[in-house]
Homo-oligomer: A and B are copies of this chain.
Amino acid sequence: MTSSLIYLAPIGSLIALFYAAYLTIVVKRSSEGTDVMKSIAAAIREGARAYLRRQYQAVAIFFVSMFVLLYILVFLGYINVFVPWAFISGGAFSALAGFIGMTMATHTSARTTNEARTSLNAALRVAFAGGSVMGLTVVGLGLLDLSIWYFLLDWVYRDLAEVARIQIITSTMLNFGMGASAMALFARVGGGIYTKGADVGADLVGKVEAGIPEDDPRNPAVIADNVGDNVGDIAGLGADLYESYVGSIVATCALAVAAGFGARGVLVPLTMAAVGVIASIIGMGFVRTGEKADQGELLKALRRGVLVAGGIIAIVSWIVIVSLLGWENFGMYFAVLFGLIAGIGIGFSTEYYTSSQYKATKDVANSALTGHATTIIQGLAVGMYSIAPFTIIIVVAILAAFFVTGGLTSFNLGLYGVGLAAVGMLSTLGITLATDAYGPIADNAGGIAEMSHQSPEVRQRTDALDSLGNTTAATGKGFCIGSAAFTALALIAAYREQVFLIADDLGIPLVLDLSIINPKVLGGLMIGAMLPFLFSSLTMNAVGRTAQSVVMEVRRQFREIAGLLEGKTGAKADYAQCVDICAKAALKEMVAPAAVAICSPIVIGLLLGVEGVMGLLTGSLLSGFTLAVMMANAGGSWDNAKKYIEEGNLGGKGSDAHKAAVTGDTVGDPFKDTCGPSLDILIKLISMVSLVFASFIVQNALF
């Protein structure tokens, strides 16, 4: 039975990819609407694809250099010969997932607008189908990459005994995340700088200076802004979760060996991932709504899908775990359940702090009455406060997963349990990612409706979809952070395992004192705690600089293109210039944060050894996730407080309170869409880099 179950992973992968292809055909069959809509959609699609092409070209240089460096490590005997290739494959698959998902999104937006001309339900269905393609592509390609390598390595090491074979397979595969991680970093940071540089720039000069509405076609930065939604929010999001998905699975596989489960323990996460694909597809069928649906009903439709998928996993994992690990390990099932519940809990807590239906965001809106400064203070206070429930959910889930799986008697069993919680959380990624990716599609659909001058009724429908998208985007961010924290934790545990294996292989007597009172660990912890702040400072500054360039360019066009601002026919904005500025800036600005993320674990490792690295990873996890939550929720809250005022509350559009709320939203933009999401990657990437360089550090650390 064991041996046949392993085929579930590639089968699940193919089902995901085929269903994604089917959905693509379904979406493409519908019309993109009028010629104006088609041309706008084409401009956005072109800008987005052009940026991704350039980004991938730039990133290719990094990947090639890193490949060479890894090959040198191979020749020096530090790493397995498969690692450089796996590095490339992880990066390529992640890039492909981002590209397919994003292209699909750019095909879906105008179709959503067009469907909204006739029916709200049809528009929701098509937008959600576009998001589903993204979700399924990510899990499909992730499982495909894992399956290919698993079967290849299984074949290469076919002569080894089972335990030894599983051990070498899992510890080789553990190194694979770095490619996907590095790709994710560039996608999140580059895309995040692009999207918010364009957004902030467009808003500063358009809304604030020239007084024209959002998405107005006179604004030369409007296409760049819409392109940004796709390259940052879609491609970046996909790469981020691709990494969490693959990372949590390989880390759990590696921990399975230490926990003494061998091949059966490896099968559990892979099987659950495969089951998750089918659960997600079934869940997707439940996302539908009536024609007169309000915001609440739309949200319910999405939730129903996610809950159905989660319910299926909750039932099937019982069978998977009991049959694979035996009745005596039924506690592992509860670890999965805790992961699932934590994911849902994080979603609710994020929604509470960012939705204008609840007190927190209403307070932020009210604080806009006393000006810009109080709006900022209140938003930051909400963001900081929201860390508390978030942390408590994660801590309870981790401790529960550890204790219930017998961590008190066998440490390694407990760590495997924590890994399974991460896998449980991410198993239904197909559909959770679909709801997250739906947000930017709806946002773009609204933009296209505005730019193509649709009737108020259509705008109202796209607004409803967009507003729903804001909520799912916020909860999606919470989910990204939560899953990143779990994945990072599993990776840290796996790193420790790996270091012992390496020392064993080398015959080095390794004693790790990982006590928090050990100054090397403590030094690592402190430097690690500092990194997310440094990283955020770099990305925040980059957004600021990019926005400045966009402002200059837009001002220039308003000045030099006669009749543009007045909206005269014939006066056409030069959108391509702004697209180009954002692309160049994003590519340039992503270098420094990437260098920090990749170099710090190596430098600290050389100076403070494995103990320092463990401190570094833990420290950056601690301050990374808290800061990410604060930024995501403060940003979400400011955004919705602004929308709340724009709906006519507290003075409505154009009032002083609205101006203050716009300031909050503008500060929140880089918070929630650049810095916060980039931190998810940071905490995973430095673990991945540490894993790949583990053998090098063990043999070359100074202290």
A543 lies within 8 A of B622 (CB): no
Cβ of A281 < 8 Å from any Cβ of B?
no
Given contacts A385-B541, A529-B622, 13 further A-B contacts (CB under 8 A): A208-B371, A370-B548, A371-B663, A373-B667, A376-B376, A387-B534, A398-B522, A492-B517, A516-B525, A526-B622, A530-B626, A622-B622, A623-B623
Among A18-26, A612-620, A684-692, the stretch that binds chain B is A612-620
Which residue from B384, B489, B667 sits with its C-beta under 8 Å from A376?
Answer: B667
Identify whether the interface residues of A are mostly helix, strand, loop, or mixed. helix
28 A-B Cβ contacts within 8 A? A200-B373, A204-B370, A370-B551, A371-B663, A373-B663, A374-B666, A376-B663, A376-B667, A377-B666, A381-B536, A384-B534, A384-B540, A385-B533, A391-B529, A398-B522, A398-B526, A399-B520, A399-B523, A407-B519, A418-B519, A496-B517, A514-B516, A514-B517, A516-B615, A522-B618, A533-B626, A533-B630, A619-B622
Cα distance A529–B540 in the bound complex, in angstroms: 22
Q: CB within 8 Å of B: which of A96-153?
A: none
**Chain B residues closer than 8 Å to A630, beta-carbon distance:** 533
Most buried by B among A540, A544, A626: A626
In the complex, are the beta carbons of B371 and A204 less than 8 A apart?
yes
> Cβ of A189 < 8 Å from any Cβ of B?
no
A403 and B520 alpha carbons, distance in the complex (Å): 10
Contact A614 B516 (CB under 8 A): yes
Give the Cβ gap from A356 to chain B, nearest Cβ, in Å.
19
A378 contacts which chain B residues (CB < 8 A)? 541, 544
Give complex CA distance A530, B391 in Å.
7
A496 to chain B, nearest CB (A): 6
Instruction: Report yes or no: A519 in contact with B618, Cβ–Cβ below 8 A.
Output: no
- A576 at interface, CB cutoff 8 A: no
| Contact between A204 and B384, CB atoms less than 8 A apart | no
**Chain A contact residues (Cβ within 8 angstroms of B): what range?**
35 or more
Nearest-neighbour CB distance to chain B for A535, whole angstroms, equals 9
Q: How far is the CA of A522 from the CA of B525 in the complex (A)?
A: 12
Cβ of A64 < 8 Å from any Cβ of B?
no
A224 within 8 A of B: no
Q: Which of B372, B381, B403, B543 contacts A544 (CB 8 A)?
A: B381
Cβ-based interface call for A367 (8 A): yes
Tell which of B204, B371, B534 touches A388, judged by Cβ atoms closer than 8 Å: B534
Residues A401-420 near B (CB distance < 8 A): 402-403, 407, 414-415, 418
A372, B418: Cα distance in complex, Å: 44
How far is B541's CA from A608's CA once the two chains are assembled, in angstroms?
40
User: How distant is the Cα of A53 from the Cα of B211 in the complex, in angstroms?
Assistant: 53
**A670 at the B interface (CB under 8 A):** yes
Asked if A544 contacts B377 (CB within 8 A), the reply is: yes
Tell whether A373 pairs with B204 under 8 Å between CB atoms, given A384-B534, A385-B534, A387-B530: yes
Q: Are A374 and B515 in contact (CB under 8 A)?
A: no
Chain B residues positioned under 8 Å from A670 (CB to CB): 377
**Shortest Cβ distance from A498 into chain B, in angstroms?**
13
Query: Within 8 Å of chain B (Cβ to Cβ): is A493?
Result: yes
CA distance A526 to B620 in the complex (A): 11
Whether B521 contacts A516 by the Cβ 8 Å rule is: yes
Within 8 Å CB of A515, what residues of B?
514-516
Which residues from B are CB-within-8-Å of A403?
Answer: 519
State whether A543 touches B626 (Cβ < 8 A). Answer: no
- A165-211 residues with Cβ-Cβ distance < 8 A to B are 200, 204, 208
Are B533 and A384 within 8 A (Cβ)? yes
Closest-CB distance, A199 to chain B (whole angstroms): 12
Shortest CB–CB separation between residue A406 and chain B, in angstroms?
12
Cβ-defined contact, A663 with B622, below 8 A: no
A618–B384 CB distance below 8 A: no
Instruction: Please state if B204 and A540 are interface contacts (CB–CB under 8 Å).
Output: no
Neighbouring B residues of A426 by C-beta, 8 Å? none
CB distance from A225 to the nearest CB of B (A): 16
A208 vs B398: C-alpha distance when bound (angstroms): 49
Assess whether A388 is in contact with B530, with CB atoms less than 8 Å apart: yes
Q: How far is the CA of A398 from the CA of B517 in the complex (A)?
A: 12
Q: How far is the CA of A396 from the CA of B516 in the complex (A)?
A: 17
| A618 and B667 contact, CB distance less than 8 A | no
Residues of chain B within 8 A (CB-CB) of A256 are none
Is residue A319 contacting chain B, with contact meaning CB distance below 8 A?
no
Is the beta-carbon distance between B623 and A667 smaller than 8 angstroms? no
Tell yes or no: A278 within 8 A of B by CB.
no
Is A380 close to B, CB under 8 A? yes
Q: How far apart are A395's CB and chain B's nearest CB, in angstroms?
A: 5
| Known A514-B515, A519-B407; contact A384-B537, beta-carbon cutoff 8 A | yes
Is A527 part of the binding interface, using a Cβ–Cβ cutoff of 8 Å? Answer: yes
A392 CB-CB contact with B under 8 Å: yes
Q: Give chain B residues whose Cβ lies under 8 Å from the Cβ of A381.
A: 536-537, 540-541, 544
Contact B392 A519 (CB under 8 A): no
Of B537, B547, B548, B608, which is within 8 A of A385 by CB? B537
CA distance A544 to B379 in the complex (A): 11
Chain A 650-671 per-residue mask, 1 if CB under 8 angstroms from chain B, else 0: 0000000000001100110010
Select from chain B the residue with minimum beta-carbon distance to A208.
Answer: B371
Q: Which residues of B contact A521 (CB under 8 A)?
A: 516
